[in-house]
């Protein structure tokens, strides 16, 4: 249908151009000026200033077209990523205080989900603090923030939620293993990819996310 509409539009434009050309060819010549009278040359038309074309950032286009099936930024999702009531309570307490101690006793998969939720809600400092320090390989928070926000691609919370729906909605259905203070979960995404996320126990007995696997 889109191709047909484009062809109809092109045909209409061509017809208008032909009609305009024929009209101009058949128009009578302008009357000659009276004898001895000179016609002053017409003043040139002032140049038309065109508004500059400013392309919206990709993140904004995602926000606008995320639910539009005809857009290249369309992102349909079948499942929904979210926290349980207990995970939400732990998450909000951690976000409010920034104290990792409030997450003591939280299971590994729930810790991964809390880390993902921090990213969705733009709590990038809290998100970074959930990485196990032994897996950072010298990366600082400033470096992490520049890499994840410096290009303007972070998007809105709605866009980040949609990405989480696509990639993490099936996380809890994955294959879970735990051995020697390390917990690993491997799961499928809605795009058919197989992802692996892992946590390690910190010195304080809190499960923290491994950074080196991302």
Supply the DSSP string of the chain, one letter for each residue. Answer: -HHHHHHHHHHHHHHHHHHHHHHHHHSPPPPPPPTTPPPPPPPPPPPPPPPPP-PPPHHHHHHHHTT-TTSTT----SS-----HHHHHHHHHHHHH--GGGGTT--HHHHHHHHHHHHHTT-HHHHHHTB-GGGSTT--HHHHHHHHHTTS----HHHHHHHHHHHHTTGGGSEEEEETTEEEEEEE-TTS-EEEEEEEE-TTS-EEE-STT-
pLDDT at position 13: 35
Averaged confidence pLDDT in the chain: 80
pLDDT in tens, 86-136: 999 999 999 999 999 999 999 999 999 999 999 999 999 999 999 999 999
The winner for highest mean pLDDT among 43-52, 91-100, 152-161 is 91-100
CA dihedral 55, 59, 60, 64 (to 10 degrees): 120
pLDDT at 208 over 80: yes
Q: Does the reported pTM lie above 0.75?
A: no
pLDDT at position 57: 62
The yes or no reply on domain 85-209 and CATH 3.10.450 is: yes
């Amino acid at each position: 249908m889109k191709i047909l509409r484009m062809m109809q539009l092109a045909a209409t434009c061509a017809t208008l151009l032909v009609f305009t050309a024929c009209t101009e060819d058949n128009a009578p010549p302008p009357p000659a000026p009276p004898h001895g009278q000179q016609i002053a040359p017409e003043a040139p038309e002032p140049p038309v200033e065109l508004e500059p074309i400013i392309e919206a950032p990709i993140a904004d286009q995602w926000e606008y077209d995320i639910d539009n099936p005809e857009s290249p930024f369309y992102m349909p999702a079948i499942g929904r990523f979210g926290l349980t009531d207990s995970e939400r309570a732990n998450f909000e307490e951690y976000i409010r205080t920034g104290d990792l101690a409030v997450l003591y006793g939280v299971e590994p998969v729930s810790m991964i989900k809390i880390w993902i939720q921090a990213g969705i809600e733009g709590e990038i400092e809290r998100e970074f603090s959930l990485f196990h320090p032994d897996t950072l390989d010298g990366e600082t928070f400033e470096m992490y923030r520049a890499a994840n926000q410096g290009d303007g691609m972070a998007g809105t919370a709605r866009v980040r939620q949609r990405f989480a729906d696509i990639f993490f909605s099936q996380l809890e259905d994955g294959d879970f293993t735990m051995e020697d203070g390390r917990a690993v979960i491997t799961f499928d995404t809605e795009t058919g990819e197989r992802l692996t996320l892992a946590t390690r126990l910190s010195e304080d007995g809190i499960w923290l996310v491994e950074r080196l696997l991302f």
